[in-house]
Amino acid sequence: MATPALDAVIFDWGGTLSEFASLELLDVWRAAARHLAPHREEEVTAHLLAVEERFWARTTATQESGTLSDLLAEASADLGLDVAEAVLEEAALHHLDSWTPHIVHDPDAGPVLAALRDRGLAIGLLSNTHWPRAFHEHFLERDGLAELIDARLYSSELSHLKPHPSVFHAALGALGVDDPGRAVFVGDRPYDDVFGARSVGMRAVLRPNPAVPPHDVEPDATIGSLPELLALVDAWT
């Protein structure tokens, strides 16, 4: 049976379009703690870190998504503090300037996205994150990538995380792709990205990241750099 041509390419963000950055969130939680209870800064900071660890452990196990406000509500219940969503949102957004030097897009990202668009392909982004859209959009707009991506989906706005099938179908739907076999997902995580995409019938391209845990799944292709994707797409189209 012939392989169907492609209509769309959907990318992961961290470790795929952007260089992988293992960032410590301690400074963000400390800023939030100062807003909430300056006299209990160390206690509240430590508790926010612990809540985040539980949060990610739970969302990874259930594949149910979550937001900053969910995380903050859980911390509020534990700490006995009445914390408005805006407090942590504000603290997070105030830290964009300090994060900016650490968030670096692959220099090939722009040219590759433009080349894919020139081939008539729709371009999507699907990222697992509990940060609000504004956090990611800031960096995509800064580097001129937002205008090259037709649909940008963040799990903080969805009910589940990758590899749950619903988020891949949401990305396909946002790009107007009815047949998953006519789309390819590109990511650095064998479980979240490759297994998730293949489980709904998409093709999957792995960009290996040594910091990511392995998973027993076979991608359709493996690339060492984004420009290598163009030859694959040309073969598939």
Q: Which amino acid is at 186?
A: V
Residue whose tokens read 């009445």: 82
Contact assessment for residue 109 and residue 14, using Cβ atoms and an 8 Å cutoff: no
User: Measuring CA to CA, which residue among 121, 115, 118, 167 is closest to residue 6?
Assistant: 121
DSSP 101: G
What are the backbone angles phi and psi of residue 84, rounded to the nearest 5°? Answer: -80, 150
What are the backbone angles phi and psi of residue 179, rounded to the nearest 5°? Answer: -105, 110
For residues 180 and 95, give the distance between their C-alpha atoms in angstroms, rounded to a whole number. Answer: 38
Q: Sign of torsion, CA 70 72 76 78? A: positive
pLDDT at residue 87 in the model: 58
pLDDT at residue 174 in the model: 98
Query: What are the distances in angstroms from CA 104 to CA 93, 96, 139, 170, 229?
Result: 17, 13, 8, 27, 20
pLDDT at residue 95 in the model: 62
Q: Which amino acid is at 175?
A: L
Query: What are the distances in angstroms from CA 90 to CA 16, 29, 100?
Result: 27, 12, 16
Show pLDDT as tens, one digit a residue, over the chain (237 residues).
456 799 999 999 999 999 876 555 677 777 777 777 788 888 888 888 888 888 888 887 888 887 777 777 787 788 776 655 545 566 666 666 666 777 899 999 999 999 999 999 999 999 998 788 888 898 999 999 999 999 999 999 999 999 999 999 999 999 999 999 999 999 999 999 999 999 999 999 999 999 898 999 999 999 999 999 999 999 998
The continuous run of DSSP H or E covering 123 comes out as strand 122-127
- Collapsing DSSP to helix, strand or coil, 177 comes out as coil
pLDDT at residue 140 in the model: 95
Cα angle: 212, vertex 208, 182; to 5 degrees: 110
